[in-house]
Amino acid sequence: MAKEKSGERKPGTPTNRDHETIDKIQKLALNAVVAARTGKNPTVEIPVRALSNVQFNEDRRIIELGDRKASREFFNTSMAKKFMQTFLVANECRKLIAEQKTISIRQMYYKTKHTLKGTSENTFDEQAESDPIIEDVEVSIDALREELHLFANKRGLVVGQLTVDDAGDQIDLRRMGRGGWGIPSICEEDALKFVRCDAEFVLVVEKQAIWHRLNEDRFWERSKCILMTTEGQAARGSRRLLQRMSTELKLPIYVLVDSDPWGLYIYSVLKQGSINLAYESMRMAVPGVRYLGMSAMDFKKFTLSSAVQIKLTKEDLERAKQIRAYPWFAEKQWQREIDALVSNGFKMELDGLLTKDTSFISNEYVPKKLRDKDFLV
């Protein structure tokens, strides 16, 4: 496939970046073909995505993938199916890039699912099989999912003091009404550009219900900020957008999650990256993000009633023990926070702040936290 010279690319034709990704996929296939022709066992080397192969980079303050790799062999009955699945997905990605089309990871499952001729064996039985294979292809050829022309369903909403250019359309996030702007799955520079920013910081909230309360109270307008909800654990698009807001717009980012081990982990994924996507940390992690709350200490600080208390479960306590051992939670401030959570014997949800007043979180809780610089880093 001939490559276009810089500045001469026609709409609907592959970019140089696309050509590079296609070359990587073809090299993967060529290595397997050469091995087969020379009587060797075709293999694919795939970096191991597990806790045993990640490390916390103290200087960069992010989780990074280690050097360990696993060989996926064709002439191995326990690996043959996954070997086939890897090349099946890679080939479909190659076709998408050549055709300049983009599909969801759900659609990739259907594109690659069929029954092998003369058998009752399916290439994939469910999406839970195909999603990890997509990640295998990403790490094995060192290409981003976006470079493979794949996207996940978008999740997350934003309003506030920012105007963006989304694939040629200018969108003023001050004029998103009650619904907000849905964060795209792909937030790379060539698809999404920042046009104008008047915000002084970004406030990220775990729950959509809390985001709606802050949005209805026009918190983002009064405080000159960008208000985002990740709707639980942040999707890749939300994490990439936050990282770009931090590095390109130089905005401080504050996070509001529930006071429980799961909220702490949601925050840590934004800050250091995740174990499963450690190979993406450099473009997704935001080491400077600040934990505004909800803190275990807030029960006394804000004289909350016992109505906000939810007894810690056995699973909560086990999870707290696990995150306490993570090196990125080793600092004394985090050990104190986790100890206080366990010592309290209860967890708290941000929604519980409404026991004080419907707009307590907008009018008092968050403003006081920001004013007093009451956050963890």
Residue 351 CA to residue 368 CA, distance in Å, equals 17
pLDDT of residue 10: 59
For the chain, what is the mean pLDDT? 93
Which segments of the chain have a pLDDT < 50?
1-9
pLDDT of residue 267: 96
Whole-structure pTM value:
0.85
Domain residue ranges of the chain, discontinuous segments joined by +: 16-151, 157-371
The CATH code belonging to domain 16-151 is 1.10.10.10
pLDDT of residue 6: 43
Catalytic residue among 110, 254, 265, 267: 110
16-151 matches 157-371 in fold: no
pLDDT of residue 7: 46
Give the amino acid at 356: K
pLDDT of residue 95: 96
pLDDT of residue 122: 95
pLDDT of residue 11: 57
Pairing of strands 150-151, 169-172: unpaired
Cβ-contact 298, 305 below 8 angstroms: no
> Is 365 noted as a catalytic residue in this protein?
no
Q: Is residue 178 classed as helix, strand or coil in its secondary structure? A: coil
* Sequential DSSP letters for 262-276: HHHHHHHHHHH--ST
The CATH code belonging to domain 157-371 is 3.40.1360.10
